[in-house]
Amino acid sequence: MKFLKKHIYIIAGLFLLAACKPEVKTAQLTHGSANFSRFIAVGNSLTAGYADGGLYLDGQLNSYPSIMAGQMQSVGGGSFNQPLFTSAQANGSGYLQLTGFNADGTPITTPVTTDLAIRGILPVPGFGNVTLYTKYTGDIENYGVPGIKLLNITYAPYGNLNGYFERLLPNDAPTNTTDYLDFVTAKPFTFFSDWLGNNDALLYATSGGAGDVLTDETTFAQLYSLSISKLTATGAKGVVATIPDVTSIPYFNTVTVNAIVAGVQKLNPAVQGIYINALVSGTTYAPRLATAKDLIVLTFPTSMIGQLVSTPYGELPYGLTPYSPIDNQYVLDANEIALTQEHVLSFNSTITSIAASKGLAVFDAYTFLNNIKQNGLVIDGLNLNSNYISGGLFSLDGVHLTPRGYAIVANEFIKAINSKYGSNIPLANVANYRGVKFP
């Protein structure tokens, strides 16, 4: 057609135009007054990427420091090495997997026991058995060690008592003598994140106040000051985080006193409540009826309730009489909660005041997670909350996070860094990280 011949160039030009995609003008990326060329992460299980009751490769790959480091790449971040398990031993320490639901909707979890990285068990006299893992010998930027307390960071033999730390050290237990603080600061670094201190309160709480002790508040302040002085000694900048309220995690909010009582009353309406062995004061415990203010741990086997156990008063149903109360290890009672919360508040005021004095950025995890517990969190069309499994944030152990939870934490760290140092590290895309895996 004549028309087409005449105007073919115009038409071709119009189609070329159509190939231009719109672009949004974004701010020039900058590292601000910070230098991310060697970023190290100091902390415990949360920092290591622990999830679902274990440390395994998939969790490590989704640790919040590695997500942060990935985002720092665009503002001068260097390489970020993690002590990863090999793919042949990808399941590391082993972990819990969700394998189904019971008819009543309760989840069934099963431990993963293949492809582990367990090297052996070392009995340590006066301490107990230490599980040893396959050694990691490469470079390390993520120094997260599951189980470590702030209390442990200057204790030289600690490398023989914690298998996750031992695997990073050159020597085999029991011959290690390097303490954690010296180990992480041995090589020069320019930026650090520090989220230590959780276990100084959490391990007491998760053991129902029975299997561990709270770190003394003054000792905590001294060690925190010491560690921050050492981390900032060579001019490195950094970000620290406060310690979450231990009662904000699903580990304590999933199995509730009211739910247990309701379950028992279905079978026996005469039952008034369940008995626990509760803290009176100091180290004195006495049995009493549980109330909604007492928290039951996620791992409590509820089937124990009502089973006959032998007591000085004869065979009595477990948990249903003052002579056969629920064991202390399964309950964080109201007084233990108060004690834990008092310590956490003290730890946090130490953390924020020392961070302020050193000019460090602070991610207030305490406020952030309490806020999620109260109000939930909606982000990019995701409805998240602190509920076990369905909340999307917490992994199957009810304490540690899912990759999605870790991505959200990484973004909160990044926001704190950006606002303190005038950088604009881009936020990670939370939608790229999964929640709990379902069968």
Residues found near another protein in the complex (CB under 8 A) = 3, 7, 11, 14-15, 17-18, 20-27, 29, 74, 98, 100-101, 105-107, 254-255, 259-260, 263, 298, 302, 378-383, 387-390, 392, 404, 411, 415, 418, 424, 426-427, 429-432, 434-439
| Least distance to another protein, CB of residue 42, Å | 25
| Least distance to another protein, CB of residue 332, Å | 16
Q: Which CB atom, from 167 or from 404, has the smaller least distance to another protein? A: 404
| Least distance to another protein, CB of residue 426, Å | 4
Q: Can you spell out the DSSP letters for 297-361? A: -TT--GGGTT-EEEETTEEEETTTSTTSPBPGGGEE-HHHHHHHHHHHHHHHHHHHHHHHHHT-E
* Diameter over CA atoms, the chain: 108
| Least distance to another protein, CB of residue 149, Å | 28
Q: Note if the bond before 403 is cis, omega within 30 degrees.
A: no
Contacts of 439 (CB under 8 A, 6+ apart): 98, 99, 100
| Least distance to another protein, CB of residue 116, Å | 19
Angle at 305 between CA 301 and CA 307, to 5 degrees: 110
| Least distance to another protein, CB of residue 22, Å | 5
| Least distance to another protein, CB of residue 122, Å | 34
Q: Which CB atom, from 228 or from 260, has the smaller least distance to another protein? A: 260
| Least distance to another protein, CB of residue 282, Å | 32
CA distance 397 to 102: 18
What is the SS3 assignment for 44? coil
Q: Which CB atom, from 98 or from 271, has the smaller least distance to another protein? A: 98
CA distance 27 to 16: 28
Residue 431: how many other CB atoms lie within 10 Å:
12
CA distance 218 to 209: 20
Q: Are residues 425 and 71 in contact, defined by beta-carbon separation less than 8 angstroms?
A: yes
Contacts of 60 (CB under 8 A, 6+ apart): 48, 49, 66, 82, 83, 84, 85, 92, 142
The b-or-e profile of 285-314 (16+ CB within 10 A means b, else e) is: beebebeeebbbbbebebeebbeeeeeeee
Q: Which CB atom, from 360 or from 389, has the smaller least distance to another protein? A: 389
Q: Which CB atom, from 87 or from 283, has the smaller least distance to another protein? A: 87
Q: Which CB atom, from 154 or from 256, has the smaller least distance to another protein? A: 256
| Least distance to another protein, CB of residue 381, Å | 3
Q: Which CB atom, from 44 or from 248, has the smaller least distance to another protein? A: 248
| Least distance to another protein, CB of residue 225, Å | 33
Q: Which CB atom, from 197 or from 403, has the smaller least distance to another protein? A: 403
- Side chain identity at residue 214, one-letter code: L
Q: Which CB atom, from 23 or from 137, has the smaller least distance to another protein? A: 23
CA distance 392 to 20: 39
Six-digit token string for 23? 């672009």
Q: Which CB atom, from 286 or from 379, has the smaller least distance to another protein? A: 379
- Judging by DSSP bridges, how do beta strands 361-363 and 237-241 pair with one another? parallel
